[in-house]
Each structure stands twice: as C-alpha cells, then as structure tokens.
Amino acid sequence: MSSPRDLGLDPAILDWGKRIEAAARDIPDLRCPYGPRRRAAAAKLSDALATWSTAEAPATVAISDQLIDGPGGEMLLRRYRPEGLPDRAPTQLFLHGGGFYAGSVHEVLNDRLCARRAQDAGIQMFSLDYRLAPEHRYPAAVLDALAALQVLADDPRFGVDAERLGLGGNSAGAAIAASAALAARGGDGPTIGHLDLEVVPGALVPIGESARRYSSGFGLDDAAALIEVYVGPGEIPVGASPLDVPDLTGLPATLITVAEYDPLRDSGLALAQRLRDAGVRVRVLRGLGHLHGTVGLTAILPAAVRLQNVHSLALAAAYSTPMAPDDTTLEGDDDVA
C-alpha cells in the first residue's frame, strides 16, 4: 500500500498534509460521532486550511444569498455572478463536498473556488446548502437539488438562461449531482444541460486498483463509514450509487475530473466509460500528481491552478460562453499536470 511520501508529490501537498494532521490534533470534535459537533469541527478545519491554501475570490464577482423553498423547508442559495453577464445568464447549480455529513455554502474553500470558476468560465453559479446526513439521509439532498434547479429555471429573479442550466458538484456533492441528473431524466422538471462531476465517487463501494492502493493515508480513510451515514444501514439504494444504475442513457454531456492518487479515481473513470457506452458525451480531466483534496490548493500549488483553469475552460465550452477557446472539445481525455 502506498503512502503520499512515497510518490514524489509536490512539497506543497506534503506540507498541506502535515498542517491537516497538526490542526486536527487541536480539534477533538473531529473524532465525535457523525452529526452537528463533528460537522462544526470539520468546518473549522476546512476554513483554517483554505484561508491559507486557496486563492481569494476575485473582486469582480458579486456574492449574495437568497432563501428558497425546498422539500424540507427553506434552503440557502449563494449566488456568484461575475460582472458583464447577460440578464439571463448560463448557470450552474453547485453542490459542495463534505462526505455527505459536512460542508456548506459558507466554507471558505467553496466560496473562493466557486467565485473563481464563475469568473473564468463566464457563467453564474449558485451553491446550495442542501440537507446533510445522518439527520437527512438519501434521497433528501437529491430532492433538494432537484427543487433548487426548478426554482432557478422558473423564477426570473435569478436571471437564469433555462436553456443553459447545468448541475455540478465536488466529491459527495458530485455523487448527489449524478443521482439528481439520473432522477430528472424524462421527467417534468427542468432540463439539465450539463453535468460537472469533480472527484466523484462513481459508486458507494470501493472500485478498482486506486481504491486498494490509496485507501489509507490519502484523505478518505473514513469513506466506508460515510456510506452508512449517507444511506443508512442495509442495502445501498441503486439511485444513490451511479455505477449501480443499469441504464445511464439520457444524461447530459458530462465533465468528470479525477485525481491521480485518489481512492475514488477508478470509480470516476468507470463512470465515464459507462456513460460513453450509453451514448453520453464525456470529457475527462485527469489531475496528475493530485490527491482527492488537493484540486483546491490554488494559493500554494501551481498544478491546482492549472487544473482549475482547464476545468473552467471546459465549462465555458459546455455552456457556450465567450470565455471558451476555439479549440476546446466537449469529449475526450486530458492529463493535466
């Protein structure tokens, strides 16, 4: 079994890992049962790291909050709107990561990355504070995402071009986004024009060589425990685990980003292949030299900046914005180092 120190990683990544270990020792609630106390501790750790390691949001992006009605009550949407967008703008609904039990629109990491991505892709983004497990298990977060998409498509206050409305997410949020896109197929709800899945768990069980080699010490040591947190004990519902869905036809064009040294890498690549076999246009970005959590280290890691830039340009092409370079394709595989 590999260790990050064996791989010749960028020193900034190793420094980031050491800071996580040091900070975690001072936050005892990180070892609490999954729930509010552990969630608050995870947010404290995330913000401490991102304040140092993630580049600040550009000043040209207006950030505002709006409450909307959802299946479980009011939900918070945080809006990222760059200067110069049309009144009805191409729009992505974004679902944050956090292992299904943590994360929020208030996290420094999400704020900074969403604002930068909106600016560089030429789109507006809305980050959703969806309901979290274990208090609200699957499919609560999926239903929240579908409800938010409907509001964005219907309510003129949000300035959304409903013909260019997409869905994206990071890690756990990417799994929720995939489940929502699957649930929306052929329904009466809004059309999802594009799907953006970053370091996605394509399945809720270990898949491939990466799951074995990087299961310990690479940032997802508690992945197995999080499955039950998200879906409860017993059999995993098919809709919660995209690779378990027999038919993946009818999904929108999809961008999948994987990290080289991520236990979820092979499940993301397997999902990409399954989608291609189902006739879906797929573009894959392989972040070389990355761990699961390093794609956001844009203040300290040049490789993270490059990967984020390619990601944003891929979104620009998918949403047909002026930011898209002429040679950007919506299909194929790219290694980004």
Active-site residue list: 171, 262, 292
DSSP string over 135-201? TS-TTHHHHHHHHHHHHHHH-GGG-EEEEEEEEEEETHHHHHHHHHHHHHTTSSS-----EEEES--
Burial of 59 (0-12, 13-18, 19+ CB in 10 A): exposed
The per-residue b/e assignment along 187-201, b for 16 or more CB within 10 angstroms, e otherwise, is eebbebbbbbbbbbb
Question: What is the Cα–Cα distance from 296 to 230, expressed in whole angstroms?
Answer: 24
Asked if residue 290 lies in contact with residue 307, where contact means CB atoms within 8 angstroms, the answer is yes
Residues facing residue 259 across a β-bridge: 287
Residue 26 CB contacts under 8 Å (≥ 6 apart), including other chains: none
Query: What is the pairing mode between strands 73-82 and 124-128?
Result: antiparallel
Q: Do 92 and 126 touch, CB atoms closer than 8 A?
A: yes
**Rounded CA gap, 270 and 155, in Å?**
37
- Tell which residue, 75, 64, 97, has the closest CA to residue 174: 97
Asked if residue 95 lies in contact with residue 147, where contact means CB atoms within 8 angstroms, the answer is no
Instruction: Please spell the DSSP secondary structure of 277-309, one letter per residue.
Output: HTT--EEEEEETT--TTGGG-TTT-HHHHHHHH
Residue type, 216: S
Q: Token pair for residue 170?
A: 């990071």
